Chains A and B, each alone.
Chain A
């Protein structure tokens, strides 16, 4: 069971309190009705599915109920950081070299 830091509660809590909500930083177009089939496919179906660093969303379901973002290594399942929804994708990860 993973231990996840909720950036709103500012606490590490067990995975049982959270629900994974898929890849992060996939914005819904403000003009979604006008998107092409290709763009809609990219938005809703295509996923990075990286072996390594993933930017993903979690919800602190049985806690503050907020959605937030996390950076995790999918090979080790180690969390690198978590941050609030709406914050930009971090330009640099803690511990990563330039």
Chain B
């Protein structure tokens, strides 16, 4: 792997940028690998990268039915934060946040992690109680998250409307300064380049059509549109399609897949300096380095794999944005799109071994998986390499719904009285 740097760019500029090598190779699949990762999104590629770099396992294939990074990695609104309530969640998201800080240098690929601050707005007493509970829990967990008055919130994000006359006035905010955004494609590409350079095979346009198991139940490999590929360990990192792949192995999941839409505006000069989220008014916004306002909100209400959703969902989203930022009605929506998010009953991910020997699953990230990418890949690689979960992902079991040991971030945040 040739190192990227400003000097490399200057050198290439002299020769018309003809010397750049492919960022990842496009090999034909081998008959067998030590580990197969199903799904070349950010989490899958990160898993392969850390299998190679941390665990020395390089005989790895990452199988992708389409193009790498084309699922939710390339469709999300790139928000990064770790100010979750429960110790388990805080543990995994802050593990990720620590890896984000330094990821560009680790990968020698500028993923543009930008800790510009994530501000979550409170609009009523209940919001204050919930967000302060987060602030206090985060502080004792060593995670930065501070309480702001409405005035301080506006100082941090000048276009925010804090008028008392708003339908739902801003009455305070929680700010995680280390939160922010990153460049989603670069994350997938950076991990792909790093993994490929270490011998990992990234095989695109290769759809898994079956999971093969030995008579003793253990995984032996996968059937694909490019033939059978053997492996004794298979990690499923298929986001919205996790249920589909796991069903092939005979494992039914506590998951449902919903459309999640997002949109960007036309690019304008810098106006929103941070990430702003509101659960009550219900939308979130940031501004990309290119100048586009990046906006998202909730899912459609029904299970779907169509990667599209209804206009009324975007309407609710923009209603909310213009409630928080009335100056934006003259801005224009440039592009909208949909992803498929896999949601668990407690809104926390599953990152675990499965009842099938050799089969591992990393799914259920719902609407917020991007922020966890490095941490998720890091501990999932550990789980696969050691056949044993890392302490950080040990609570995120597949059977917690049976026992009731939930990590219910949704319940903690969303119950109104």
Chain A residues with CB under 8 Å of chain B are 1-2, 15-16, 19-20, 22-23, 37-38, 40-42, 44-51, 54, 56, 72, 74-77
Q: What's the least CB distance linking A80 to chain B, in Å?
A: 14
Q: Which residues from A are CB-within-8-Å of B255?
A: 47, 49
In the complex, how many residue pairs between chain A and chain B have their CB atoms under 8 Å apart? 70
Main secondary structure of the interface of B (DSSP, over half): loop
CA of A23 to CA of B255, assembled, Å: 11
Instruction: Report which of B252, B311, B403 forms a contact with A1, defined as CB distance below 8 A.
Output: B311
Instruction: Report which of B253, B304, B399, B401 forms a contact with A74, defined as CB distance below 8 A.
Output: B304
The residue in chain B whose Cβ has the minimal distance to the Cβ of A2 is B310
Q: What's the least CB distance linking B38 to chain A, in Å?
A: 15
Q: What's the least CB distance linking B247 to chain A, in Å?
A: 8
Q: Which residues from A are CB-within-8-Å of B310?
A: 1-2, 15
CA of A51 to CA of B303, assembled, Å: 9
Asked whether A45 lies within 8 Å of B345 as measured between CB atoms, the reply is: yes
Beyond A20-B301, A37-B403, A74-B303, is A47–B311 a contact (Cβ under 8 Å)?
A: no
Could you tell me which residues of chain B, from 69 to 102, have a CB within 8 Å of some CB in chain A? none
Beyond A19-B301, A47-B256, is A37–B402 a contact (Cβ under 8 Å)?
A: yes
Chain B residues with CB under 8 Å of chain A are 241, 243-244, 252-257, 301-306, 308, 310-312, 342, 345, 399, 401-403
Q: Which residues from A are CB-within-8-Å of B311?
A: 1
The 9 closest A-B pairs by CB, nearest first: A49-B243, A45-B401, A41-B402, A45-B254, A20-B301, A20-B302, A1-B310, A51-B305, A46-B252
CA of A44 to CA of B402, assembled, Å: 9
Q: What's the least CB distance linking B334 to chain A, in Å?
A: 22
Q: What's the least CB distance linking B411 to chain A, in Å?
A: 14
The residue in chain A whose Cβ has the minimal distance to the Cβ of B308 is A77
Q: What's the least CB distance linking B197 to chain A, in Å?
A: 34
Beyond A15-B312, A51-B241, A51-B244, is A56–B302 a contact (Cβ under 8 Å)?
A: yes
Q: Which residues from B are CB-within-8-Å of A37?
A: 402-403
The residue in chain B whose Cβ has the minimal distance to the Cβ of A40 is B402
Q: What's the least CB distance linking A67 to chain B, in Å?
A: 14
Asked whether B254 lies within 8 Å of A46 as measured between CB atoms, the reply is: yes
Asked whether A76 lies within 8 Å of B306 as measured between CB atoms, the reply is: yes
CA of A64 to CA of B38, assembled, Å: 45
Asked whether B305 lies within 8 Å of A74 as measured between CB atoms, the reply is: yes
CA of A40 to CA of B345, assembled, Å: 14
CA of A50 to CA of B303, assembled, Å: 8
Q: What's the least CB distance linking B66 to chain A, in Å?
A: 14
Q: What's the least CB distance linking B301 to chain A, in Å?
A: 4
CA of A54 to CA of B304, assembled, Å: 9
CA of A79 to CA of B401, assembled, Å: 31
CA of A47 to CA of B344, assembled, Å: 10
The residue in chain A whose Cβ has the minimal distance to the Cβ of B252 is A46
- Give me 9 other A-B pairs in contact (C-beta within 8 A), A47-B254, A75-B306 excluded: A16-B312, A40-B402, A44-B345, A48-B243, A48-B252, A50-B243, A54-B303, A72-B302, A74-B304
Q: Which residues from A are CB-within-8-Å of B345?
A: 44-45
Q: Which residues from A are CB-within-8-Å of B302?
A: 2, 20, 56, 72, 77
Asked whether A47 lies within 8 Å of B402 as measured between CB atoms, the reply is: no
